[in-house]
Amino acid sequence: MPDLVLPLIAWFVVFVFSTTLHEAGHAFAAMRLGDRTAYHGGQVSLNPLPHIQREPFGMVVVPILSFVLMQGQWMFGWASVPYDPRWAMRWPRKAALMALAGPAANLILVVIAAVAIKLLVAAGFFEAPALLGFSQLAEGTAAPGSGPAALLLSILFSLNLVLLIFNLLPLPPLDGSGAIQLFLPENASRRYQEFLLGHPMWAWVGIVAAWRLFWPVFEPVQRFAIALLYP
């Protein structure tokens, strides 16, 4: 258990930061597109406290518990922002763009982490590890601080790649389900939203299906991303 303390802190810091940016992306996009619900709730912010206050179980309890139960392999949890379903019903295309804003934030963090790792490997501050893992996409050298920096950037890359792919699965209540509305006529999009709002049980079905579908989708994407990182 003592060996898990530093990785736990690193994972939790990156998880809270990444989840906050994801949800702030949704909230900011909604505000700019005409729905100020999340803005009034304080979610258009990179301050994690409003997001933790909204989802303390999903952003604190479950991530720490999942990390301990999985013996430090990785961490999961959830967060959310409020929105006005009447606005989403009236403007389905805008609602779809709002849904995509969260994964877009995760994609930006993946790219930032990848560029930082490549530059620091080239500079000799990091080196490629003998064995790749979620928390080990780079290793520190003898340079002071290189070990913790390699750990944080490895987690930033891996966790945000997970958040990106998982949330883009086209299943309710994930963001990919909302993004479907970009490809539907407006009338069909409204009927789609009415169906989901009228049958909330489909959200649970979607979550179960997403867990089954995630790894077959994620693994080839992960291999491709690592191949770009270490060609």
pLDDT of residue 175: 96
Q: Where are the domains of the chain?
A: 2-229
pLDDT of residue 186: 81
How does residue 187 score in pLDDT terms, banded at 50, 70 and 90? confident
Percent of the chain with pLDDT over 70: 99
pLDDT of residue 1: 57
Judged by average pLDDT, the poorest of 54-63, 110-119, 173-182, 187-196 is: 187-196
Report the alpha-carbon distance of residue 195 to residue 191 in Å, rounded.
Answer: 6
pLDDT of residue 2: 58
The whole-number average pLDDT for the span 183-208 is 83
Q: Which residues are catalytic?
A: 23
Rg value, the chain, Cα: 19
pLDDT of residue 128: 94
pLDDT of residue 54: 96
Report the alpha-carbon distance of residue 107 to residue 156 in Å, rounded.
Answer: 11
User: Number of helices (H) and strands (E), helices first, in the chain?
Assistant: 11, 2
Q: Which of 112, 137, 113, 115 is nearest to 127 (CA)?
A: 137
pLDDT in tens, 79-133: 999 999 999 989 999 999 999 999 999 999 999 999 999 999 999 999 999 999 9
Tell whether the model's pLDDT for residue 59 goes beyond 80: yes
SS3 of residue 191 by DSSP: helix
Q: List Cβ neighbours of 26 (8 Å cut-off, separation of 6 or more).
A: 38, 43, 81, 83, 98, 99, 101, 102
pLDDT in tens, 135-175: 999 999 988 999 999 999 999 999 999 999 999 999 999 99
Place of tokens 């998982």: 166
The whole-number average pLDDT for the span 57-61 is 97
The whole-number average pLDDT for the span 28-38 is 98
Tell whether the model's pLDDT for residue 74 goes beyond 80: yes
pLDDT in tens, 8-26: 999 999 999 999 999 999 9
Residue 37, classified by CB atoms within 10 Å of its CB into exposed (0-12), middle (13-18) or buried (19+), is middle
